[in-house]
Structure 1
Amino acid sequence: MGIDVWLSRTSIPAASESPTEAVIDHIDLAPSLDNWTLLEAEVANCQKCTLCTTRKNTVFGSGNQQADWMIVGEGPGQHEDEQGLPFVGNAGGLLTEMLRAISLTREDVFIANIIKCRPPNNRDPHADEIAHCSDYLYRQHQLIQPKMILALGRIAAQTLLKTNEPLAKLRGKVHTFNNSPVVVAYHPAYLLRFLPEKSKAWVDLSFALQTFTKLEGDL
Protein backbone atom coordinates (compact mmCIF):
# COMPACT_ATOMS: atom_id res chain seq x y z
CA MET A 1 0.00 0.00 0.00
CA GLY A 2 1.51 3.30 -1.04
CA ILE A 3 1.92 6.33 1.15
CA ASP A 4 0.45 9.55 -0.16
CA VAL A 5 2.63 12.65 -0.36
CA TRP A 6 1.78 15.04 2.47
CA LEU A 7 1.50 18.79 2.14
CA SER A 8 4.45 20.95 3.15
CA ARG A 9 4.38 23.09 6.27
CA THR A 10 3.93 26.20 4.11
CA SER A 11 0.34 25.07 3.52
CA ILE A 12 -0.52 25.09 7.22
CA PRO A 13 -3.55 27.28 8.02
CA ALA A 14 -3.18 30.34 10.21
CA ALA A 15 -3.18 29.85 13.96
CA SER A 16 -6.53 31.62 14.22
CA GLU A 17 -8.07 28.69 12.33
CA SER A 18 -6.81 26.15 14.90
CA PRO A 19 -9.23 24.13 17.03
CA THR A 20 -10.03 25.45 20.48
CA GLU A 21 -7.35 24.76 23.09
CA ALA A 22 -8.04 23.07 26.42
CA VAL A 23 -5.56 22.16 29.12
CA ILE A 24 -5.67 18.95 31.17
CA ASP A 25 -3.99 18.85 34.59
CA HIS A 26 -0.43 17.60 34.35
CA ILE A 27 1.34 14.86 36.30
CA ASP A 28 4.24 15.95 38.52
CA LEU A 29 7.16 13.57 38.94
CA ALA A 30 10.05 13.71 41.40
CA PRO A 31 13.49 14.67 40.03
CA SER A 32 15.38 11.68 38.66
CA LEU A 33 19.04 10.70 38.74
CA ASP A 34 18.53 8.50 35.68
CA ASN A 35 20.82 8.33 32.73
CA TRP A 36 20.12 6.77 29.36
CA THR A 37 22.47 3.81 29.77
CA LEU A 38 20.95 2.81 33.10
CA LEU A 39 17.39 3.18 31.88
CA GLU A 40 17.95 1.28 28.64
CA ALA A 41 19.58 -1.58 30.56
CA GLU A 42 16.60 -1.73 32.93
CA VAL A 43 14.18 -1.95 30.02
CA ALA A 44 16.25 -4.63 28.26
CA ASN A 45 16.20 -6.81 31.38
CA CYS A 46 12.64 -6.05 32.49
CA GLN A 47 10.53 -8.95 33.76
CA LYS A 48 7.78 -6.97 35.46
CA CYS A 49 4.97 -8.58 33.45
CA THR A 50 4.32 -11.66 31.33
CA LEU A 51 5.15 -9.87 28.07
CA CYS A 52 8.79 -10.63 28.82
CA THR A 53 8.08 -14.31 28.11
CA THR A 54 6.82 -13.74 24.57
CA ARG A 55 8.94 -10.84 23.30
CA LYS A 56 11.93 -11.20 21.01
CA ASN A 57 13.31 -7.77 21.86
CA THR A 58 12.37 -4.87 24.05
CA VAL A 59 11.75 -1.66 22.12
CA PHE A 60 13.28 1.12 24.17
CA GLY A 61 12.82 3.94 21.68
CA SER A 62 15.04 5.77 19.23
CA GLY A 63 16.00 9.21 18.03
CA ASN A 64 17.40 12.43 19.42
CA GLN A 65 17.82 12.24 23.19
CA GLN A 66 17.73 16.05 23.36
CA ALA A 67 14.75 16.42 21.04
CA ASP A 68 12.20 19.21 21.20
CA TRP A 69 9.56 16.73 20.00
CA MET A 70 8.68 13.39 21.60
CA ILE A 71 6.47 11.01 19.61
CA VAL A 72 4.59 8.46 21.73
CA GLY A 73 2.81 5.45 20.26
CA GLU A 74 1.05 2.45 21.75
CA GLY A 75 3.49 -0.45 21.61
CA PRO A 76 5.68 -2.59 19.36
CA GLY A 77 4.26 -4.70 16.55
CA GLN A 78 5.82 -7.71 14.87
CA HIS A 79 8.48 -5.81 12.92
CA GLU A 80 9.40 -3.68 15.93
CA ASP A 81 9.68 -6.77 18.13
CA GLU A 82 12.00 -8.40 15.59
CA GLN A 83 14.26 -5.36 15.17
CA GLY A 84 14.05 -3.77 18.62
CA LEU A 85 13.19 -0.38 17.09
CA PRO A 86 9.93 1.62 17.12
CA PHE A 87 7.80 2.25 14.03
CA VAL A 88 9.76 0.26 11.44
CA GLY A 89 6.91 -1.40 9.52
CA ASN A 90 4.39 0.19 7.15
CA ALA A 91 3.11 2.40 9.95
CA GLY A 92 6.68 3.54 10.52
CA GLY A 93 6.99 4.52 6.89
CA LEU A 94 3.86 6.62 7.17
CA LEU A 95 5.11 8.20 10.39
CA THR A 96 8.28 9.24 8.56
CA GLU A 97 6.13 10.93 5.90
CA MET A 98 3.98 12.61 8.54
CA LEU A 99 7.06 14.06 10.22
CA ARG A 100 8.46 15.18 6.88
CA ALA A 101 5.22 17.07 6.23
CA ILE A 102 6.05 19.37 9.15
CA SER A 103 9.75 19.56 8.24
CA LEU A 104 10.94 17.02 10.81
CA THR A 105 12.96 13.84 10.42
CA ARG A 106 13.18 10.81 12.68
CA GLU A 107 16.60 12.11 13.74
CA ASP A 108 14.99 15.34 14.98
CA VAL A 109 12.56 13.64 17.37
CA PHE A 110 12.55 10.90 19.99
CA ILE A 111 10.11 8.07 19.30
CA ALA A 112 8.85 5.87 22.13
CA ASN A 113 5.85 3.75 23.09
CA ILE A 114 3.61 3.37 26.11
CA ILE A 115 4.84 -0.23 26.51
CA LYS A 116 8.24 -1.61 25.55
CA CYS A 117 7.27 -5.20 24.62
CA ARG A 118 4.92 -6.51 21.94
CA PRO A 119 1.62 -7.93 23.19
CA PRO A 120 0.83 -11.33 21.63
CA ASN A 121 -0.96 -11.05 18.28
CA ASN A 122 -0.75 -7.25 18.51
CA ARG A 123 -3.63 -7.12 20.98
CA ASP A 124 -4.22 -3.98 23.03
CA PRO A 125 -1.98 -3.86 26.10
CA HIS A 126 -3.65 -4.76 29.37
CA ALA A 127 -3.97 -2.26 32.19
CA ASP A 128 -1.43 -4.06 34.38
CA GLU A 129 1.09 -4.17 31.52
CA ILE A 130 0.73 -0.42 31.00
CA ALA A 131 1.07 0.17 34.74
CA HIS A 132 4.26 -1.88 35.00
CA CYS A 133 5.79 -0.13 31.98
CA SER A 134 4.65 3.45 32.54
CA ASP A 135 7.58 4.39 34.77
CA TYR A 136 9.99 3.83 31.88
CA LEU A 137 8.19 6.32 29.67
CA TYR A 138 7.94 8.86 32.49
CA ARG A 139 11.68 8.60 33.05
CA GLN A 140 12.41 8.96 29.34
CA HIS A 141 10.32 12.11 29.39
CA GLN A 142 12.25 13.46 32.37
CA LEU A 143 15.55 12.90 30.60
CA ILE A 144 14.42 14.50 27.34
CA GLN A 145 12.21 17.32 28.69
CA PRO A 146 10.53 17.77 25.28
CA LYS A 147 8.82 20.98 24.28
CA MET A 148 6.07 19.05 22.46
CA ILE A 149 4.58 15.56 22.75
CA LEU A 150 2.64 14.07 19.85
CA ALA A 151 0.50 11.21 21.19
CA LEU A 152 -0.41 8.77 18.43
CA GLY A 153 -3.62 6.83 18.88
CA ARG A 154 -6.20 6.20 21.58
CA ILE A 155 -4.11 4.15 24.00
CA ALA A 156 -1.14 6.52 23.98
CA ALA A 157 -3.40 9.53 24.47
CA GLN A 158 -5.56 8.01 27.19
CA THR A 159 -2.53 6.72 29.10
CA LEU A 160 -0.59 9.99 29.02
CA LEU A 161 -3.64 12.06 29.91
CA LYS A 162 -5.13 9.58 32.40
CA THR A 163 -8.56 9.73 30.79
CA ASN A 164 -11.11 7.44 29.18
CA GLU A 165 -12.27 10.10 26.74
CA PRO A 166 -12.44 8.87 23.13
CA LEU A 167 -9.77 10.03 20.71
CA ALA A 168 -12.22 12.23 18.82
CA LYS A 169 -12.78 14.35 21.94
CA LEU A 170 -9.06 14.64 22.69
CA ARG A 171 -8.03 15.88 19.24
CA GLY A 172 -7.70 19.58 18.50
CA LYS A 173 -6.79 20.57 22.07
CA VAL A 174 -3.56 21.28 23.90
CA HIS A 175 -3.21 18.98 26.91
CA THR A 176 -0.23 18.69 29.24
CA PHE A 177 1.86 15.83 30.57
CA ASN A 178 4.41 16.66 33.26
CA ASN A 179 4.65 20.26 32.02
CA SER A 180 5.03 19.34 28.34
CA PRO A 181 2.22 20.23 25.92
CA VAL A 182 0.52 17.24 24.32
CA VAL A 183 -1.33 17.13 21.01
CA VAL A 184 -3.25 13.99 20.08
CA ALA A 185 -3.28 12.51 16.56
CA TYR A 186 -4.38 9.34 14.82
CA HIS A 187 -1.97 6.40 14.89
CA PRO A 188 -0.33 5.70 11.49
CA ALA A 189 -1.53 2.08 11.60
CA TYR A 190 -5.12 3.34 11.84
CA LEU A 191 -4.55 5.71 8.93
CA LEU A 192 -3.30 2.85 6.76
CA ARG A 193 -6.54 0.98 7.44
CA PHE A 194 -8.76 4.03 6.91
CA LEU A 195 -7.09 6.14 4.23
CA PRO A 196 -9.78 8.88 4.09
CA GLU A 197 -8.87 9.81 7.68
CA LYS A 198 -5.48 11.11 6.50
CA SER A 199 -7.03 14.55 6.05
CA LYS A 200 -7.85 14.62 9.77
CA ALA A 201 -4.30 13.57 10.58
CA TRP A 202 -3.02 16.53 8.58
CA VAL A 203 -5.20 18.82 10.73
CA ASP A 204 -3.65 17.26 13.85
CA LEU A 205 -0.10 17.71 12.55
CA SER A 206 -0.77 21.30 11.56
CA PHE A 207 -2.22 22.04 14.97
CA ALA A 208 0.77 20.46 16.72
CA LEU A 209 3.20 22.55 14.68
CA GLN A 210 1.19 25.73 15.24
CA THR A 211 1.19 25.06 18.98
CA PHE A 212 4.93 24.40 19.05
CA THR A 213 5.68 27.52 16.99
CA LYS A 214 3.50 29.69 19.22
CA LEU A 215 5.13 28.36 22.39
CA GLU A 216 8.59 28.97 20.95
CA GLY A 217 7.58 32.53 20.07
CA ASP A 218 6.33 33.15 23.61
CA LEU A 219 9.68 32.20 25.18
Structure 2
Amino acid sequence: MSLSRDQMLDEMGLSPRWKLRQQPSVARGEKPTHATAATGVPSSTDAPNAGNMAAVIEAPGLSVVTGAESPELIAEFGWDQLRQSVVACRACALCAERKQAVLGVGDEKASWLFVGEGPGAEEDARGEPFVGPAGKLLDAMLAAIDLRRGEDVYIANAVKCRPPGNRTPEAAEMAVCAPYLKRQIALIQPRLIVLLGRAAVQAVLGEEGSLASLRGKTFTYRDGALAIPVVVTYHPAYLLRTLPDKAKSWEDLCRARALMRELAASESATA
Protein backbone atom coordinates (compact mmCIF):
# COMPACT_ATOMS: atom_id res chain seq x y z
CA MET A 1 0.00 0.00 0.00
CA SER A 2 1.41 3.38 -1.00
CA LEU A 3 1.75 6.04 1.65
CA SER A 4 0.73 9.66 1.35
CA ARG A 5 3.33 12.41 1.59
CA ASP A 6 2.16 13.27 5.12
CA GLN A 7 2.49 9.63 6.14
CA MET A 8 6.01 9.58 4.71
CA LEU A 9 6.87 12.66 6.75
CA ASP A 10 5.45 10.94 9.83
CA GLU A 11 7.73 7.98 9.08
CA MET A 12 10.67 10.40 9.08
CA GLY A 13 9.52 11.76 12.44
CA LEU A 14 8.93 15.26 11.05
CA SER A 15 6.18 17.21 12.75
CA PRO A 16 4.94 19.88 12.41
CA ARG A 17 5.12 19.91 8.63
CA TRP A 18 7.92 21.84 6.94
CA LYS A 19 6.87 24.03 4.04
CA LEU A 20 9.22 24.85 1.19
CA ARG A 21 10.23 28.49 1.09
CA GLN A 22 11.30 30.28 -2.04
CA GLN A 23 15.09 30.06 -2.26
CA PRO A 24 16.87 33.34 -3.07
CA SER A 25 18.59 33.28 -6.44
CA VAL A 26 21.96 34.71 -7.28
CA ALA A 27 21.33 38.12 -8.77
CA ARG A 28 21.65 38.34 -12.53
CA GLY A 29 25.21 39.14 -13.46
CA GLU A 30 26.47 38.34 -9.97
CA LYS A 31 29.16 35.68 -9.82
CA PRO A 32 29.14 33.20 -6.94
CA THR A 33 32.36 32.69 -4.99
CA HIS A 34 34.56 29.82 -6.11
CA ALA A 35 37.15 28.13 -3.96
CA THR A 36 39.31 25.10 -3.83
CA ALA A 37 39.04 22.72 -0.89
CA ALA A 38 42.74 23.05 -0.20
CA THR A 39 43.14 26.83 -0.18
CA GLY A 40 39.73 28.49 -0.22
CA VAL A 41 41.17 30.93 -2.77
CA PRO A 42 38.63 32.15 -5.34
CA SER A 43 39.17 30.89 -8.87
CA SER A 44 38.21 32.43 -12.18
CA THR A 45 35.99 29.55 -13.30
CA ASP A 46 32.30 30.36 -13.11
CA ALA A 47 29.79 27.75 -11.96
CA PRO A 48 26.20 27.54 -13.25
CA ASN A 49 23.70 29.79 -11.50
CA ALA A 50 22.22 27.21 -9.15
CA GLY A 51 20.35 29.51 -6.77
CA ASN A 52 21.36 30.28 -3.18
CA MET A 53 24.96 29.63 -4.21
CA ALA A 54 27.12 30.07 -1.13
CA ALA A 55 30.26 28.23 -2.21
CA VAL A 56 31.67 26.14 -5.02
CA ILE A 57 34.46 23.68 -4.43
CA GLU A 58 36.54 21.86 -6.99
CA ALA A 59 36.38 18.13 -6.26
CA PRO A 60 39.90 16.83 -5.67
CA GLY A 61 38.65 13.91 -3.62
CA LEU A 62 38.09 11.72 -6.66
CA SER A 63 41.46 12.38 -8.26
CA VAL A 64 43.71 10.44 -5.85
CA VAL A 65 43.66 6.81 -6.85
CA THR A 66 45.37 3.50 -6.29
CA GLY A 67 43.80 0.19 -7.14
CA ALA A 68 43.98 -3.20 -8.76
CA GLU A 69 43.17 -1.67 -12.13
CA SER A 70 44.47 1.66 -13.32
CA PRO A 71 42.18 4.69 -13.09
CA GLU A 72 42.75 5.25 -16.79
CA LEU A 73 41.34 1.80 -17.53
CA ILE A 74 38.40 2.20 -15.16
CA ALA A 75 37.62 5.54 -16.82
CA GLU A 76 36.83 3.65 -20.04
CA PHE A 77 34.54 1.02 -18.48
CA GLY A 78 30.87 0.61 -19.25
CA TRP A 79 28.45 -0.61 -16.59
CA ASP A 80 29.07 -4.32 -17.13
CA GLN A 81 32.84 -3.93 -16.97
CA LEU A 82 32.50 -1.71 -13.91
CA ARG A 83 30.45 -4.34 -12.06
CA GLN A 84 32.89 -7.11 -12.93
CA SER A 85 35.86 -5.01 -11.87
CA VAL A 86 34.32 -4.10 -8.50
CA VAL A 87 33.51 -7.75 -7.80
CA ALA A 88 37.10 -8.77 -8.62
CA CYS A 89 38.78 -5.85 -6.83
CA ARG A 90 41.31 -6.75 -4.13
CA ALA A 91 42.97 -3.34 -3.90
CA CYS A 92 42.42 -2.78 -0.17
CA ALA A 93 41.79 -4.78 2.99
CA LEU A 94 38.01 -4.24 2.91
CA CYS A 95 37.66 -7.08 0.42
CA ALA A 96 38.88 -9.61 3.01
CA GLU A 97 35.69 -9.71 5.10
CA ARG A 98 33.04 -8.74 2.57
CA LYS A 99 30.36 -11.13 1.37
CA GLN A 100 29.95 -9.18 -1.84
CA ALA A 101 30.87 -5.85 -3.34
CA VAL A 102 28.04 -3.30 -3.60
CA LEU A 103 28.39 -1.05 -6.65
CA GLY A 104 25.09 0.80 -6.49
CA VAL A 105 21.47 0.57 -7.54
CA GLY A 106 18.96 2.54 -9.56
CA ASP A 107 18.39 4.36 -12.82
CA GLU A 108 21.69 4.52 -14.68
CA LYS A 109 20.61 7.76 -16.39
CA ALA A 110 19.13 9.31 -13.26
CA SER A 111 18.82 13.04 -12.64
CA TRP A 112 19.40 12.46 -8.90
CA LEU A 113 22.49 10.76 -7.48
CA PHE A 114 22.63 10.02 -3.74
CA VAL A 115 26.04 9.01 -2.35
CA GLY A 116 26.49 7.48 1.09
CA GLU A 117 29.51 6.13 2.95
CA GLY A 118 29.73 2.35 2.61
CA PRO A 119 27.70 -0.87 2.81
CA GLY A 120 26.54 -2.10 6.21
CA ALA A 121 25.86 -5.67 7.25
CA GLU A 122 22.50 -5.94 5.48
CA GLU A 123 23.83 -4.22 2.37
CA ASP A 124 26.78 -6.62 2.34
CA ALA A 125 24.39 -9.56 2.58
CA ARG A 126 21.95 -8.37 -0.09
CA GLY A 127 24.30 -6.58 -2.46
CA GLU A 128 22.28 -3.35 -2.51
CA PRO A 129 23.02 -0.01 -0.82
CA PHE A 130 20.74 1.44 1.84
CA VAL A 131 18.59 -1.48 2.95
CA GLY A 132 17.44 -2.14 6.49
CA PRO A 133 16.43 0.71 8.84
CA ALA A 134 18.65 3.35 7.19
CA GLY A 135 17.36 2.32 3.78
CA LYS A 136 13.76 2.52 4.97
CA LEU A 137 14.38 6.05 6.21
CA LEU A 138 16.10 7.03 2.94
CA ASP A 139 13.11 5.72 0.98
CA ALA A 140 10.82 7.83 3.17
CA MET A 141 13.05 10.86 2.60
CA LEU A 142 12.88 10.30 -1.16
CA ALA A 143 9.11 9.88 -1.10
CA ALA A 144 8.73 13.11 0.88
CA ILE A 145 10.16 15.02 -2.12
CA ASP A 146 8.23 12.91 -4.64
CA LEU A 147 11.07 10.56 -5.57
CA ARG A 148 11.26 6.78 -5.59
CA ARG A 149 14.24 4.44 -5.46
CA GLY A 150 15.11 3.33 -9.00
CA GLU A 151 13.00 5.97 -10.74
CA ASP A 152 15.26 8.80 -11.89
CA VAL A 153 17.32 8.07 -8.76
CA TYR A 154 20.65 6.26 -8.41
CA ILE A 155 22.15 5.34 -5.02
CA ALA A 156 25.85 4.64 -4.50
CA ASN A 157 28.49 4.69 -1.76
CA ALA A 158 31.98 6.09 -1.35
CA VAL A 159 33.35 2.55 -0.86
CA LYS A 160 31.97 -0.61 -2.38
CA CYS A 161 32.85 -3.08 0.39
CA ARG A 162 31.62 -3.14 3.98
CA PRO A 163 34.03 -1.64 6.52
CA PRO A 164 34.39 -3.97 9.54
CA GLY A 165 31.84 -3.28 12.24
CA ASN A 166 30.08 -0.79 9.95
CA ARG A 167 32.72 1.80 10.84
CA THR A 168 33.25 4.94 8.77
CA PRO A 169 35.45 4.32 5.72
CA GLU A 170 39.02 5.57 6.03
CA ALA A 171 40.49 8.11 3.62
CA ALA A 172 42.83 5.56 2.04
CA GLU A 173 39.94 3.15 1.46
CA MET A 174 37.87 5.85 -0.21
CA ALA A 175 40.84 6.80 -2.39
CA VAL A 176 41.10 3.20 -3.63
CA CYS A 177 37.39 3.18 -4.55
CA ALA A 178 37.45 6.70 -5.99
CA PRO A 179 37.92 5.68 -9.65
CA TYR A 180 34.77 3.54 -9.44
CA LEU A 181 32.64 6.32 -8.00
CA LYS A 182 34.12 8.81 -10.45
CA ARG A 183 33.20 6.51 -13.34
CA GLN A 184 29.68 6.02 -12.00
CA ILE A 185 29.19 9.78 -11.96
CA ALA A 186 30.55 10.07 -15.50
CA LEU A 187 28.23 7.34 -16.78
CA ILE A 188 25.13 8.65 -15.00
CA GLN A 189 25.82 12.37 -15.54
CA PRO A 190 23.22 13.32 -12.93
CA ARG A 191 21.80 16.80 -12.77
CA LEU A 192 22.24 16.91 -8.98
CA ILE A 193 24.31 15.02 -6.41
CA VAL A 194 23.18 14.68 -2.78
CA LEU A 195 25.93 13.63 -0.36
CA LEU A 196 24.85 11.72 2.73
CA GLY A 197 27.34 12.10 5.57
CA ARG A 198 30.89 13.37 6.08
CA ALA A 199 32.63 10.44 4.42
CA ALA A 200 30.67 11.00 1.20
CA VAL A 201 31.58 14.69 1.32
CA GLN A 202 35.25 13.85 1.76
CA ALA A 203 35.16 11.28 -1.05
CA VAL A 204 33.43 13.48 -3.63
CA LEU A 205 34.52 17.01 -2.72
CA GLY A 206 37.71 16.41 -0.76
CA GLU A 207 36.20 18.58 1.97
CA GLU A 208 36.71 17.60 5.61
CA GLY A 209 34.62 20.25 7.38
CA SER A 210 31.75 19.46 9.70
CA LEU A 211 28.31 18.78 8.29
CA ALA A 212 27.04 21.83 10.17
CA SER A 213 29.48 24.04 8.26
CA LEU A 214 28.64 22.48 4.88
CA ARG A 215 24.87 22.32 5.02
CA GLY A 216 22.95 25.14 3.38
CA LYS A 217 25.56 25.61 0.64
CA THR A 218 25.62 24.46 -2.96
CA PHE A 219 28.92 23.01 -4.12
CA THR A 220 29.96 21.91 -7.58
CA TYR A 221 31.50 18.58 -8.55
CA ARG A 222 33.80 19.04 -11.54
CA ASP A 223 35.28 16.41 -13.83
CA GLY A 224 36.32 17.64 -17.25
CA ALA A 225 33.24 19.13 -18.89
CA LEU A 226 30.98 17.92 -16.09
CA ALA A 227 29.88 20.57 -13.58
CA ILE A 228 27.22 19.12 -11.27
CA PRO A 229 25.62 20.95 -8.31
CA VAL A 230 26.07 19.18 -4.97
CA VAL A 231 23.97 19.39 -1.80
CA VAL A 232 25.19 18.04 1.56
CA THR A 233 23.02 16.49 4.26
CA TYR A 234 23.11 13.92 7.07
CA HIS A 235 23.41 10.17 6.58
CA PRO A 236 20.15 8.31 7.36
CA ALA A 237 21.95 6.06 9.87
CA TYR A 238 23.00 9.19 11.77
CA LEU A 239 19.44 10.52 11.69
CA LEU A 240 18.18 7.30 13.28
CA ARG A 241 20.48 8.02 16.23
CA THR A 242 19.94 11.80 16.32
CA LEU A 243 16.24 12.42 15.82
CA PRO A 244 16.27 16.25 16.17
CA ASP A 245 18.45 16.55 13.06
CA LYS A 246 15.76 14.97 10.88
CA ALA A 247 14.20 18.42 10.54
CA LYS A 248 17.53 19.80 9.31
CA SER A 249 17.78 17.01 6.75
CA TRP A 250 14.27 17.84 5.59
CA GLU A 251 15.40 21.44 5.01
CA ASP A 252 18.31 20.13 2.94
CA LEU A 253 16.02 17.97 0.82
CA CYS A 254 13.71 20.92 0.22
CA ARG A 255 16.72 22.95 -0.94
CA ALA A 256 17.75 20.12 -3.25
CA ARG A 257 14.26 19.90 -4.73
CA ALA A 258 14.11 23.67 -5.25
CA LEU A 259 17.54 23.61 -6.88
CA MET A 260 16.48 20.81 -9.24
CA ARG A 261 13.44 22.83 -10.24
CA GLU A 262 15.63 25.86 -10.92
CA LEU A 263 17.92 23.74 -13.08
CA ALA A 264 14.96 22.36 -15.03
CA ALA A 265 13.53 25.84 -15.56
CA SER A 266 16.90 27.16 -16.70
CA GLU A 267 17.30 24.29 -19.16
CA SER A 268 13.80 24.86 -20.56
CA ALA A 269 14.48 28.56 -21.01
CA THR A 270 17.64 27.90 -23.01
CA ALA A 271 16.26 24.97 -25.04
SS in 2 for 1:121: helix
In structure 1, runs of 5+ residues without a counterpart are none
- For the structure 1 residues 52 and 63, does the alpha-carbon distance in structure 2 shift closer, same or farther, using more than 3 Å as the test? same
Larger Rg belongs to: 2
1:15 and 1:210 in contact (8 A); partners too: yes
Deviation at residue 19 of structure 1 after TM alignment: 5.9
Q: Cα RMSD (Å) of the superposition?
A: 2.3
In structure 1, the residue matched to 2:113 is: 70
In structure 2, the residue matched to 1:40 is: 83
1:23 and 1:175 in contact (8 A); partners too: yes
Q: Which runs of structure 2 are paired with 1:134-149 in the superposition (5 Å)?
A: 134-149=178-193
- For the structure 1 residues 146 and 54, does the alpha-carbon distance in structure 2 shift closer, same or farther, using more than 3 Å as the test? same
1:6 and 1:97 in contact (8 A); partners too: no
SS in 2 for 1:110: strand
1:63 and 1:110 in contact (8 A); partners too: yes
- For the structure 1 residues 167 and 5, does the alpha-carbon distance in structure 2 shift closer, same or farther, using more than 3 Å as the test? closer
**Distance (Å, rounded) in 2 between the aligned partners of 1:146 and 1:168:** 25
- For the structure 1 residues 174 and 96, does the alpha-carbon distance in structure 2 shift closer, same or farther, using more than 3 Å as the test? same
Correspondence for 1:205 among 253, 259, 264: 253
In structure 2, the residue matched to 1:180 is: 228
Deviation at residue 20 of structure 1 after TM alignment: 5.5
In structure 2, runs of 5+ residues without a counterpart are 1-9, 26-50, 64-71
- For the structure 1 residues 20 and 141, does the alpha-carbon distance in structure 2 shift closer, same or farther, using more than 3 Å as the test? closer
Bigger relative contact order (CA 8 A; separation at least 6): 1
In structure 2, the residue matched to 1:155 is: 199
Q: Which runs of structure 2 are paired with 1:1-219 in the superposition (5 Å)?
A: 3-4=11-12, 11-16=19-24, 21-26=54-59, 32-108=75-151, 109-178=153-222, 179-219=227-267
1:24 and 1:161 in contact (8 A); partners too: yes
2:13 and 2:243 in contact (8 A); partners too: no
Residue by residue, what CA displacement relative to the aligned partner does 1:145-202 show, whole Å, maximum 9, x if unpaired? 0000000011101221112211111111110112111000111001100111111011
Deviation at residue 218 of structure 1 after TM alignment: 1.1
- Output the TM-score relative to the length of structure 2: 0.75
Taking every aligned residue pair, what percent have the same amino acid on both sides?
46
Residue 149 of structure 2 aligns with an amino acid whose one-letter code is R
Deviation at residue 123 of structure 1 after TM alignment: 1.3
**Distance (Å, rounded) in 1 between the aligned partners of 2:162 and 2:243:** 25
- For the structure 1 residues 10 and 185, does the alpha-carbon distance in structure 2 shift closer, same or farther, using more than 3 Å as the test? closer
Deviation at residue 91 of structure 1 after TM alignment: 0.3
Deviation at residue 3 of structure 1 after TM alignment: 3.0
Residue by residue, what CA displacement relative to the aligned partner does 1:80-117 show, whole Å, maximum 9, x if unpaired? 00101000010000000000011000012000000000
**Distance (Å, rounded) in 2 between the aligned partners of 1:84 and 1:12:** 35
